[in-house]
Structure 1
Amino acid sequence: MGKNVLIIGASGDIGTEIAEKLAGNGWQLILHYNKNKQAMEANRMHLNRESVLMEIQADLSEQSGINHLLGQLVFPADAIVFAGGSAHYGLFQDTDEQIMDAMLTLHVKAPWTITKYILPSMIREQYGRIIFITSVWGEAGAGNEVVYSSVKGAQNSFVKALAKETASSGIAVNAVSPGFIDTKMNQHLLAEEKAKIVHEIPANRAGTSEDVANTVSFLMNERSDYIHGEIIHVSGGWRS
């Protein structure tokens, strides 16, 4: 069994935690990031140097960035974790077509293209793990986040469908669907807004990046071999 994992979005709060967790589990890391080079430098402080095979900078909201990433990928990937992405807030009727195109490319076309590129080698090896970090909004939908909800829903559908094609080849495709997680993505919320959301969560707290990373760690383990095509909620029981 191989031990190389490509982590898309390794500079984000959740991606950083996943990288640290998987490195501790013995995986060798291929780390992708876009703009946050400072976060990647901070990552190196927490990771064993030998656990990082390479870092790739690429803007996956553009086709040229997708092509660049694949051109730089010199190591085989036995697993992929799609932890990257960005939210978009605002009324759907006010959303520019350029924003729609970028969100579609980043969250849908880039994962399609990267998976299609790596999948043949996984099939040859009869082993693989493909994990998406999606969102509760991909199922429930959120007003003022219509485009984000749509692309996360597309990721969930991709997971369910691809899992049916790849399970017989020893490749598990699953998603982790976080609820309200205390990350930089939610910094736009006022303290009162955060408190209101937490009040609605049965577990009575916001989730953490570690909560998400722990679930990813389990799905990467051989003990999860019979789990295919699942959308696993990490939400403290919260459904909105």
Structure 2
Amino acid sequence: MRENKTLFVTGASSEIGTAFIEQVADNYDTIVAHYRSSAGRLLPLEEKLGEKLVMVQADFADATSVRKMLDFMTERQLKPDHIVHLAASPMENEKFKKLDWCNFAESTETNIRPIVDILEEFMPVMAKQKYGKVVFMLSAVTLGMPPKYKSVYTTTKYALLGLMKSLAVEYADKGITVNGVSPEMIDTRFLNNLPDLIKEMNADTMPMKANLTVNQVVPTVSFLLSDGADMISGQNIAITDSKE
């Protein structure tokens, strides 16, 4: 097992982020936890983990803000061995005819550009040390046919899926694994912009008649960062309760 590891989590103040950090904290010497505006949600972890947890702020809709975050990490010599990308814009329902290119461009700037900047900063470091692991939080919309009225969200997730697979191939000989997890709807604040009826309808399609919980998703992310997943790369892992 590699020692003195550093973990970087984007969207760490999310419910998945805090639960994930709590589960894997003992595996790392330093955990860099990104948040946009909800630092308070990370305070219980800071109290528990002390100096092990380093909170960094950035608004992913602002390229300058992301650059400042990366500069801070470089100045502090916070070079992650593992990166988990959880940050994402909330899922929304909207018919395609009511959208225009600005909606897609905004999603690209907020959801794709930041992780590209982050990986361009740190993957060369991983490659030099011949070790690294990256996990993308994707979505079940990338499995088969997606639900209606989510063209922006679905397009963004497919772009991230393409990035994940491309990097897995490009860095395969550098000791770096790059994977994604694609869960069905998870019962978190992320779904707040969706009508309750849509969440209920999705739950009804699940074999257990319930949307996923955070604790049903986090273990898969943790496994992909473990030594047991050293030979797994370029995979999009479905977490769907056997939903067809």
**For 1:34, which of 30, 33, 36 is the aligned residue?**
36
Aligned residue number for residue 82 of structure 1: 85
The Cα shift of 1:122 comes to 0.3
SS of the residue aligned with 1:172? strand
Q: Which runs of 5+ in 1 are unaligned?
A: none
Structure 1 residues 190 and 50, CA, compared in 2 at 3 Å: closer, same or farther?
same
Aligned residue number for residue 60 of structure 1: 60
Q: Which runs of 5+ in 2 are unaligned?
A: none
**For 1:121, which of 107, 125, 128 is the aligned residue?**
125
Aligned residue number for residue 240 of structure 2: 235
What is the one-letter code of the residue matched to 2:149?
N
The Cα shift of 1:142 comes to 3.1
Give me the TM-score of the superposition, normalised by structure 1.
0.91
1:98-177 to 2 correspondences below 5 Å? 98-139=102-143, 140-177=145-182
2-side partners of 1:166 and 1:197: how far apart? 37
Structure 1 residues 133 and 40, CA, compared in 2 at 3 Å: closer, same or farther?
same
The Cα shift of 1:191 comes to 4.6
Structure 1 residues 183 and 28, CA, compared in 2 at 3 Å: closer, same or farther?
same
1-side partners of 2:92 and 2:194: how far apart? 13
1:180-191 to 2 correspondences below 5 Å? 180-191=185-196
Structure 1 residues 95 and 35, CA, compared in 2 at 3 Å: closer, same or farther?
farther
SS of the residue aligned with 1:176? strand
2-side partners of 1:150 and 1:160: how far apart? 16
Identity %: 27
Mean CA deviation greater in 73-82 or 33-42: 33-42
Q: What is the aligned residue count?
A: 237
Query: Given that residues 203 and 237 in structure 1 are in contact (C-alpha distance below 8 angstroms), is that contact kept between their aligned partners in structure 2?
Result: no
The Cα shift of 1:184 comes to 0.8
1-side partners of 2:226 and 2:35: how far apart? 24
2-side partners of 1:27 and 1:177: how far apart? 28
The Cα shift of 1:44 comes to 2.6
SS of the residue aligned with 1:48? helix
Structure 1 residues 113 and 189, CA, compared in 2 at 3 Å: closer, same or farther?
closer
**For 1:43, which of 35, 39, 45 is the aligned residue?**
45
What is the one-letter code of the residue matched to 1:142?
P
Q: Deviations over 1:32-67 (max 9, x none)?
A: 01021221224334x421431x21111112211221
2-side partners of 1:147 and 1:213: how far apart? 25
What is the one-letter code of the residue matched to 1:83?
L
The Cα shift of 1:100 comes to 2.6
Aligned residue number for residue 206 of structure 1: 211
SS of the residue aligned with 2:80? coil
Query: Given that residues 92 and 194 in structure 2 are in contact (C-alpha distance below 8 angstroms), is that contact kept between their aligned partners in structure 1?
Result: no
2-side partners of 1:93 and 1:60: how far apart? 27
The Cα shift of 1:98 comes to 4.1
**For 2:12, which of 10, 24, 48 is the aligned residue?**
10
What is the one-letter code of the residue matched to 1:229?
G
